[in-house]
Structure 1
Amino acid sequence: MADLPRSAAGRRSPWLIASIVSIATFMEVLDTTIANVALRHMAGGVGASQDESTWILTTYLVTNAIVLPVSGYLATALGRKRFYMGCVALFTLASLGCALAPSLGLLLVCRAIQGIGGGGLAPVEQSILADTFPPEKRAQAFALYGLTVVTAPAIGPALGGWITDNYSWHWIFLINLPVGALSLVLVSVFVQEPPAVQEDRRRFLAEGSGIDWVGFGLSAMALGSLQIVLDRAVIDDGFWSPLVSWLTVLCIAGFVLLIPWERRQARPAVDVRLFGYRSFLAACLIMFLVAFTLFSTTQLLPQLTQELMGYDATTAGLTLAIGGIGTIFVMPFAGKLTTLVQPRWVILAALLWSGGALLHATRIDLTMSFWHVSMLRVVQVVALPFLFVPITTAAYIGLPPDKTNDASALINLMRNLGASVGISVMNAVVVHGAQVHQNRLIESARDTNPLWTEHLRQTEQALRGAGLGAWEASQAALAQLAAQVQAQAQVLSYMDAFWLLGVAVLVLWPLVFLMRDVPKGAGSGGHG
């Protein structure tokens, strides 16, 4: 297309390209959420302890976080299509290695390689979409792409639960092989490397500025350390752990050194100067917030239903899958609405809805039916398409055309960081909150409390009526009430988590006013 010199479609339909490049990200996001559900099964299969098994997730997240911010740099240096196909191939082959791994060590190596391949997929795909569609049509393109990012985390737990309950954990990796192969064939045949993008690479190599090894190193140190801290903080007793403490120091030092270094580089590995564009900065911050709430609740809800309501992995996953189906239906409307209304107004309305939905979720109790739990999830996630699509659309407003690779890398980094920070912080809130609430409830469980003594007496009488002796009934009644106190404390801690998430969303909505309007009838040449 003459007016889109950076388009990857060539003479073909851009919608065909959008569909093709969405395949690999769906595979990668789906695989991540499936792995979360199958963690215990994988640990048993390779003889790992429960504590060691968490490294199966951590190694992937660490290498994924390291590659994400530099993927734009690598795509420019190696060629966008070549880099993308390399990432798909690496992820697919590593999936086979994970499925065949006979030991924990080899599984961790393959998971790390998977993370390297997965880290480069989403940024390049979004860069391709931003270059292949003019600004006024990007919202609908990102709506199609958004189906992969928003629905895969919802479908993953249900599919993972079903696979692990009925087959073997190996299949959560083996199912990637045909999907990866299909993606490689379709990308090779249909996705073009336009002359303008080839010229970017020639100019990059001709400048001979060399690889920004210092930027790579500082980014890897900061983000790798941060990811390990987030994953191990609750498990290893927070800053009492020497590992967590030292990695926190490395993380802070990495970020403090990285930002001024990259600002001085002609070709930075991580182009932090993009945060100087206010729409891009606002989009990144809101994307962080959206991922924070989406992924933390994606973990909290099945955790609640499995631990306190007795759901198996498949049933717990289905509560999320129903919400995912809801997002599939509303995603096209989000794309259409974003073409008619300025993105920031769509985002504002969706943030207010999301905040209210999270506050509504504080009404949880252990007597809820499956459908009640599922509807709570539907109300939470129905606004997600009206966040993801306009956020991604607004992120590229005002950016230079040759910065789409770097911009896509950074906004996906913010999404991943939001997910990691959200899961870590909300897990800490639940664990700490349960302890606080249990202590308070125990304080009220005294002989001087008439409600407590009456409840205890009635429980003892019921147990004696069931045939227990006086002493056995007394002990069983105390144990039963202690279990009820513990369960109630845990429920209250989940209510705290949903309340904090809702308040955070409602407090931070003014960020939308940093965003610029999408120019009407803008051409592709200036990205707005």
Structure 2
Amino acid sequence: MSAATADAVPVGDEGFDPARSAAGGRNPWLIAVVVSIATFMEVLDSTIANVALRYIAGSMGTSYDDASWVVTSYLVANAIVLTVSSFISKRYGRKPFYLVCLGVFTLSSIACGFAWDMDSLLFFRVLQGFAGGGMVPISQSILADSFPPSKRGQAFAIFGIAVVVAPVVGPVVGGWLSDNLSWHWCFLINGPVGVVAFILVGLLVQEPQAAVEEHERLKRQGVRMDVVGFLLVATFLGSLQVVLARGQTLNWFASEFIVIFTVICVVSFFLMIPWEMTRENPILDLRMVVTRQFGSCFVVMLAIGAILIATTQFLPELVQQFYGYTALLAGLTMSPGGVVTFVSMLVVGRLTNSVQPKYLIAAGAAIVAFSMWDLTRLNPDSTFWYFAWSRIYIGIGLPLIFLPITAASYYGIPPDKTDQASALINVARNIGGSIGVSISQNVLAVREQFHHSRLVENIIPSNPAYQETLDMMSRYFSDAGGGAVAAKERAIAFIGEQLQAQAGYMAYIDVFYVLMLLSLAAIPLALILRRVN
């Protein structure tokens, strides 16, 4: 960089290399919008199918449990490709790889919409996950290279809108499409959006000269992919995703399937660590994770992924199960939070230039913890706006965490390592989401059984309150028509249903307490981050 250029660079932007920018001579903000379109589409697909699983199961003539593989297969494929995206983009070019991922994602999305049975749907869903897994980290590294550190916070605000708002919008869009058209449109909707994104990326995004020189150098040097490392990392992440996604459904270690995948996961993990730590060109540079700055960002992103995906999945399930909401109405409970998140992203994008990331992250984690605590006031009379406000609080808190943590994770990272940083941060978000859902599912199941057993202890003939309730409900059903014996049977059944519902409410409250503690744990981690100049 020339002296004149160096003088023009703002404080803190000394490490910025314009030769790595994907904007070329164009406005980099245009590039930010273009790559965020594809990112939004990919992240949307991680949740859009959740509310459509019952429709898919009914249409395909299979069980809900089998249909849930539509979500699991996508997450597993996504996690695997995240690990190799950095090497492929460096070795063969960032833009060509991005276009291939975007093209395959669009075509496989359309194929999912036209799937003729469950096997074909899962096959195309895996292809979709493989392609989508390469798009998000490349989008993020494009932004990191196209903007100097002083502008990255605002650039990541656009990217963050895609990553944080898309999981919230997913259930709304999926619910409306499933209720009013068919579940096929949850996938077909990607067709026209993908075509537009492909054209825009092809026309506007440039392959930086520095990136061209780098993959030419790697080609001359004959640098090959760390195949062993890739297989170990892919096996670890893939088996971990399977265990987390299917563990509760299959009763954890009572299932031979879960035991086998757990063993595979543990063995591959302990083989992966020494292998990747000693390679010159590892698939994942795990040495970055043990640093104070990036390692803290990695762990906080795990927590954020857990809270974002767990709340996005469990709130719609809660209101559908206990409040009789349709798939669309369940999705709409989160729409106000999506709007607030959109606005918050833009505001926080500017704050990142004047407030240290660690303070923003700590504040955001405290707000999210408050929103989880507020949900512990859950009761049978909770209204639509009670749930909507919980998402509004999250919509304020998450941007305060997501944007600073994304920007802070690149602090001190050499320009040639931005692809690795992007891959690792997105692995953290992906795995964190699966961990959050798995923990929540396990807490929900275990605590529901616990509360049910405690409540049943009071359903005994010697309990005056039980006898009074039973007599009152028996008279009610008797007055409604039917004999005394039938009325008493209906009264007993009604009390049993209420007891089961009460146990369910209390179990969901326990889930929200756990997520609150997870949010609070992110605060001290945030405060140990270094100052960003």
* TM-score, normalised by the number of residues in structure 1: 0.96
Please give the secondary structure, in 1, of the residue aligned with 2:333: helix
Letter of the structure 1 residue corresponding to residue 340 of structure 2: G
Residue 526 of structure 1 aligns with which residue? none
Task: Give me the whole-angstrom Cα distance separating, in 2, the residues matched to 1:52 and 1:512.
Answer: 40
Structure 2 residue 191 is the aligned partner of structure 1 residue 177: yes
- 3-state DSSP of counterpart to 1:101: coil
Q: Assess if the C-alpha contact under 8 Å between 1:24 and 1:183 holds in 2.
A: yes
Q: Does 1:393 align with 2:407?
A: yes
Matched, 1:502 2:516: yes
Matched with 1:493 is 507
**Further displaced range: 492-501 or 28-37:** 28-37
Q: Aligned to 1:363, which of 377, 392, 399?
A: 377
**Aligned partners of 2:269 and 2:279: how far apart in 1?**
16
Per the TM alignment, residue 29 of structure 1 is displaced from its structure 2 partner at its CA by 1.2
C-alpha contact 2:367 2:396 (8 A) present in aligned 1: no
Match of 1:105 in 2: 119
Paired AA for residue 59 in structure 2: G
Shift of 1:474: 1.1
Q: SS of the counterpart of 1:120? A: helix
Q: SS of the counterpart of 1:209?
A: coil
**In 1: Cα distance, 2:328 partner to 2:192 partner:** 24
Distance 1:232 1:311 in 2: 26
Cα distance, 1:445 vs. partner? 1.4
Instruction: Name the structure 1 match of 2:271.
Output: 257
CA distance in 1, matches of 2:521, 2:76: 30
Q: Is the 8 A contact 1:355 1:502 kept in 2?
A: yes
> Does the 8 A contact of 2:39 with 2:163 survive in 1?
yes
Cα displacement (A) at 1:457: 1.9
Q: Which residue of 1 aligns with 2:340?
A: 326
Superposition pairs for residues 218-297 of structure 1, below 5 Å? 218-297=232-311
The residue that corresponds to 1:524 in the other structure is none
**In structure 1, the residue corresponding to 2:413 is in which secondary structure?**
coil
Give 1:482's aligned residue.
Answer: 496
Unaligned runs of 5+ in 2: 6-16
User: Please, which of 191, 194, 219 is the counterpart of residue 205 of structure 1?
Assistant: 219
Q: Provide the residue aligned with 1:431 in structure 2.
A: 445
Q: Deviations over 1:57-87 (max 9, x none)?
A: 2211111111112211111111111111111
State the shift of 1:48 in Å: 2.5
Mapped contact 2:306–2:436 kept (Cα < 8 A)? yes
**Residue type of the partner of 1:75?**
S
Paired position in structure 1 for 2:152: 138
Deviation of the 1:381 alpha carbon: 2.8
Counting only pairs closer than 5 Å after superposition, residues 119-158 of structure 1 correspond to structure 2 as 119-158=133-172
Amino acid at match of 2:374: H
How far the C-alpha of 1:168 sits from its partner, in A, is: 1.5
**Equivalent residue number for residue 66 of structure 1:** 80
Give secondary structure in 1 for the equivalent of 2:397.
coil
Q: Does 1:312 align with 2:326?
A: yes
1:48 alignment partner in structure 2: 62
One-letter code aligned to 2:411: I
Partner amino acid for 1:99? G
- Aligned counterpart for 2:174 among listed residues 160, 163, 166: 160
Offset from partner CA, 1:290-348 (integer Å, 9 cap, x none): 11011111111111100111111000010012211111122111111111101111001
Q: Percent identity?
A: 46
Q: Provide the rounded CA distance (Å) in 1 between the counterparts of 2:116 and 2:480.
A: 51
Q: Cα deviations across residues 256-281 of structure 1 (Å, max 9, x unaligned)?
A: 11111011111111111111332111
Deviation at 1:467, TM superposition (A): 3.0
CA contact (8 A) 2:113 2:188 kept: yes
CA distance in 2, matches of 1:455, 1:9: 71
Contact 2:87–2:225 (8 Å) recurs in 1: no
| Distance in 2 (alpha carbons) for counterparts of 1:191 and 1:156 | 27
The SS at the match of 2:324 is coil
**Gapped regions of structure 1 (runs ≥ 5):** 520-528
More displaced, 168-177 or 407-416?
168-177
- Asked if 1:455 corresponds to 2:469, the answer is yes
Comparing 110-119 with 368-377, greater Cα deviation is found at 368-377
* Residue number in structure 2 paired with 1:81: 95
CA apart distance, 1:192: 0.9
Contact 1:277/1:399 (<8 A) preserved: no
Structure 1 position 421, deviation (Å): 1.0
- What is the one-letter code of the residue matched to 1:76? K
Aligned residue pair count: 519
Q: Is the 8 A contact 2:41 2:190 kept in 1?
A: yes
Letter of the 2:207 partner, please give it.
Answer: E
Contact 1:77–1:204 (Cα < 8 Å) also in 2: yes
| C-alpha distance in structure 2 between counterparts of 1:361 and 1:203, whole Å | 55
Give the root-mean-square deviation of aligned CA atoms: 1.3
Displacement of 1:31: 2.0
CA contact under 8 A between 1:277 and 1:398: conserved in structure 2? no
Q: CA offsets per residue over residues 161-189 of structure 1, 9 Å max, x none?
A: 11011102111111111111111111111
State the AA in 1 paired with 2:512: F
Q: 1:422 aligns with which of 436, 442, 448?
A: 436
Runs of 4+ in 1 over 6 A off after TM superposition: none
Please tell me whether the aligned partners of residues 359 and 503 of structure 1 are also in contact (alpha carbons under 8 angstroms). Answer: no
Q: What's 1:382 paired with?
A: 396
